[in-house]
Amino acid sequence: MIITELYEGQGLGNQLWVYAASRSIAEQLNVPFILLGAERFKGKDFLHINSEVGISAAEAVDVAKSSRWSSFHEAFFYDRELDYMSSGFDSRVLALSGMSKLDGLYQSEKYFFGDLERPKMYFDLDDVWKSKNRVEDDTCIINLRGGEYKRHKNLILPESYWNKAIENMKRMSDVRKFLVVTDDVRYARAMFPKFDVLEGGIEDCYASIYNAKYLILSNSSFAYFPVKTGGNSRLVIAPKYWARYANPCGRWASIANLYESWLWQSPDGRLSTFEECLPECAGTEAVYEAKYFVRTTPDIVQKPGIRQFVPKLLRSRIKRALSLILPRYFG
């Protein structure tokens, strides 16, 4: 049996990856699947998922109460040069037996075991949101990630990435309009003053990406499933090396986040296919597998900062004030 859990503080993209990958692993092993913490699912108002597969609801409740499972943690590599915790496909999942509870990110397409259609069977977008958020054929969606990303400067993509991606999109398609979908409207307006910005909830953002044919993405897990399950995309541009765009080491961060059928843009604006990126990504993985072998607890690589000494309510008010004054830098 495969068990996974949704936690407080997880974003929707991370929740969907953990759910879909864990369910796919259960399917591959031909064992039941149970999702704990379904009440924390951030997409419950517009995405339909199953909390148990191959087991009754009553049996699932008994399993949850018993806690008689072994814990399995996906392998991570702490890349000190990139200051990043990287993960890929952990093949040990294929040897799991008994009741195993999975924790980790699980963001590799390899967890679908060659069948990238699997996620379409795991959750479905409500038709109401599909109809409400139709995207015209000549419109490109720009998925801009702001918010808490602005606390991590290595994650924020430079303006040059977006400008070059827009140039590439215009050159390669019949796109005439751009619509910004974001978690940070003020930031989006500061970055793209000439483009419309979608002012809706997470449902509208998800559905707009789901319906779009042309997309320019940030290095966020949020867009993966609406793009892949929507099935409408013709041209998708994403940042090469993902969470460490333009890093001088030429390494993927993380090795999980290289996806089929997308085009990957480097800092000079050059686009590479999935197949062209594979050797580089495989090289990154080979380095990690050969040289990174020390296991430790997550708190060892967490950096204490002044934030932990500031009360949460005060932090929230300070951030809100700063986001009004400097939306490009504070979310």
Half-sphere exposure of 208 (CA within 13 A, CB side): 23
The per-residue pLDDT for range 138-183, each reduced to its tens digit, is: 999 999 998 888 778 889 999 999 999 999 999 999 999 999 999 9
Q: Does residue 80 sit in the same domain as residue 141?
A: no
Domain that holds residue 316: 306-331
Q: Does residue 178 sit in the same domain as residue 263?
A: yes
Q: Does residue 120 sit in the same domain as residue 154?
A: no
The CATH number given to whatever domain includes residue 157 is 3.40.50
Alpha carbon of 165 to those of 100, 127, 240: distances in Å? 42, 31, 12
The two three-digit tokens of residue 92, written as one number = 């040990």
What pLDDT score does 307 carry?
64
Q: Does residue 284 sit in the same domain as residue 319?
A: no
Q: Does residue 136 sit in the same domain as residue 9?
A: no
Q: Does residue 254 sit in the same domain as residue 311?
A: no
Residues 235 and 237: their CA atoms lie apart, in Å, by: 7
Residues 323 and 148: their CA atoms lie apart, in Å, by: 11
Provide the percentage of residues in the chain whose pLDDT is more than 70.
93
Q: Does residue 109 sit in the same domain as residue 138?
A: no
The per-residue pLDDT for range 262-309, each reduced to its tens digit, is: 999 999 999 999 999 999 999 999 999 888 877 777 776 666 666 666
- Residue 268 CB contacts under 8 Å (≥ 6 apart), including other chains: 164
The amino acid occupying position 278 is L
- Ramachandran region, residue 114 (left: φ > 0; alpha: ψ -120 to 50; beta: rest): left
Q: Which strands make up the sheet holding 214-217, listed edge to edge?
A: 196-197, 177-182, 139-144, 214-217, 235-239, 263-265, 271-272
Q: Does residue 280 sit in the same domain as residue 310?
A: no
What pLDDT score does 285 carry?
94
What pLDDT score does 205 carry?
97
Q: Whole-prediction pTM value? A: 0.90
Which H helix or E strand runs over 103? strand 100-103
Residue 54 burial by Cβ neighbours in a 10 Å radius (0-12, 13-18, 19+): middle
Instruction: Tell me the DSSP string of 274-310.
Output: HHHHHHHHHHHHHHHHHH------GGGG----GGGGS
Residues 217 and 161: their CA atoms lie apart, in Å, by: 10
Q: Does residue 57 sit in the same domain as residue 151?
A: no
* Sign (positive or negative) of CA dihedral 331, 270, 176, 46: negative
Average pLDDT score over the chain: 92
Kindly report the number of other CB atoms within 10 A of residue 292's CB atom.
15
Of the candidates 259, 262, 245, 265, the one whose C-alpha atom is nearest the C-alpha of residue 166 is: 265
